[in-house]
Chains A and B, each alone.
Chain A
Amino acid sequence: MDALRRNILKNAGGVGMIGLAIGAGLLKPTLALADWNKSAFDAKTVPEAVKALGAANAAESKEIAIKAPDIAENGVVVPVEITSNIPGTEYIMVLAENNPTPLIADFDLTNGAMGYVAIRIKMGKTGPVRAIVKANGKFYTAFKQVKVTIGGCGG
């Protein structure tokens, strides 16, 4: 549960008041009720993170393209573009497998959003950047190895 939501719960005394706040236009409903999967983001390994997000048994797919540098001289900023050509792509998860906490982000895509996201990520050391895609209820995955010259997590 994020801090905003916790504070609202504490200050307003419950869900009823959140409803009132939303009704009065004080809060953006999507953000006030946003969930953040702490166990997935705190997970130290890829299988733990993936399990926490319910994305088990992903099949390797050549229909997912990961665009990232072969060599990232500075792990503080590594541009990553994921394109899924799998029809019905509705979700993309991004992991840097050798980071202290591998899960970088996940994206729910709806109402015409295509199977594409571009972000810039931190990488602590050399390793695979992995994408896991959900399409029509099934999970697919691909990775690209990125060599990191100077790590970007601690410093």
Chain B
Amino acid sequence: MEPMRMRATIQGDVADIKLLINHPEETGLRKDPKTGQLVPAHFITNITATVNGKKVLSAQWGVGISKNPFMGFKVKGAKAGDKVVVSWVDNKGETQTGETTIGS
């Protein structure tokens, strides 16, 4: 699995966090063009983010999230050097965690 790509910058006391995940995000409605069979659903169901161990975001995702998902969010009261950790789990039970440090 390719690592999550994350970037966290800060302006004043607001951190701007952006991330990209490598994931097929299959809806279960798409047919394989070669076989004509439906490709089984495979999508992220839950994603969470913490800043310095405190939960800032907890989301449920459905099949309407695009392939190789992007997410951006903002956290007030953060500072350069704070640690951001993002974890997801998908409908097959696969998980991944990524972390970065808020840059100045």
Which residues of A come within 8 Å of B, CB atoms?
Answer: 2-4, 7, 28, 30-31, 34-37, 40-41, 76-79, 81, 96, 99-101, 103-114, 116-123, 152-155
Contact = CB atoms under 8 A, between A and B. Distances in A.
B75 A112 contact: yes
Interface string B43-87: 001101101001111111111111101111111111000000001
B89 A31 contact: yes
A105 B62 contact: yes
For this complex, into which size category does the number of interface residues on chain B fall? 35 or more
Contacts of A111: 51, 54-56, 75
10 contacts: A3-B91, A101-B64, A103-B62, A105-B62, A110-B57, A111-B56, A114-B14, A119-B72, A153-B27, A153-B29
Given A28-B97, A99-B64, A100-B29, A119 B69 contact: yes
A140 B49 CA distance: 24
Contact of B61 (A100, A105, A112, A116): A105
A116 B48 contact: no
Interface of B: 14, 18, 27, 29-31, 45-46, 48-49, 51, 54-67, 69-78, 87-89, 91-93, 95, 97
A100 B28 CA distance: 12
A152 B54 CA distance: 36
B23 to A, nearest CB: 12
A107 B59 CA distance: 4
A126 to B, nearest CB: 15
Nearest to B71: A119
Given A2-B46, A155-B30, A101 B62 contact: yes
A101 B45 contact: no
A114 B100 CA distance: 19
B48 A34 contact: yes
